Structure 1
């Protein structure tokens, strides 16, 4: 949350019309940030609310795995170059795997038909 505030990431996404999916740490960060629904005191979530939370978790999972993978690489733990350069390296590393995993063509962002 501190990094998002420091670098104004949420504000930038809002201006650009990019939706933000986040975990519970970002609750209250603003109307543009979608976080899991909390269980009301003394009550359970409805089946619909549980489905919404599961869908949000499923949408966030690939990003979480990508970040975890990057954190495990020494180049990202011991980097001594500009953050802009590291962003380019991260994009280059994640793109091929993401395209394969999600069936997306890197040039057009369209799904690849397996049939």
Structure 2
């Protein structure tokens, strides 16, 4: 019996679940979903494996990302992936950095709405399966989500 099939299984630990990346347009409509990976995969690792940075740069596109993608794009002159600033105990944010974080949060709000539409299917909450099988399910959910949102 697999650990996930036990009766008293707790699903709150991320290494049991699945990790996926998704791209949305500026209105929050899902455009692309990556292949599913184990839940322990970090955002940067998944983005490097999917070559997201190279694909966005080749297409001339950019992306607003959360802080999980910090350090992925180190090109200061022509950034493709824009993330916010973080504060530490020793380094407080300047007023300009706080303003930049607010602007970024405003731009990312439709993106989060796109993820919310995907999560409404609720089949992903307790999904414990092989990432290859989950990838097919994610493709179907992408189509169904776009049909539902456009309706």
TM-score range, shorter chain: 0.5 to 0.7
Which structure is higher in helix share?
1
Aligned to 1:50: 98
Distance 1:43 1:5, change over 3 A: closer
Q: Distance in 1 between the 2:135 and 2:103 partners?
A: 37
Q: Give the counterpart of 1:7 among 50, 53, 64.
A: 50
How big is the alpha-carbon RMSD for the aligned residues of Structure 1 and Structure 2?
2.7
Instruction: Identify the structure with bigger relative contact order (alpha carbons < 8 Å, sequence gap 6+).
Output: 2
Alignment of 1:1-115 (within 5 A): 1=43, 2-30=45-73, 31=75, 32-39=80-87, 42-74=90-122, 77=124, 81=136, 84-95=139-150
CA contact (8 A) 2:87 2:93 kept: yes
Matched residue pairs, number?
Answer: 95
User: Do the aligned partners of 1:66 and 1:94 also contact (CA within 8 Å) in 2?
Assistant: no
Aligned equivalents of 1:93, 1:10: Cα separation in 2: 29
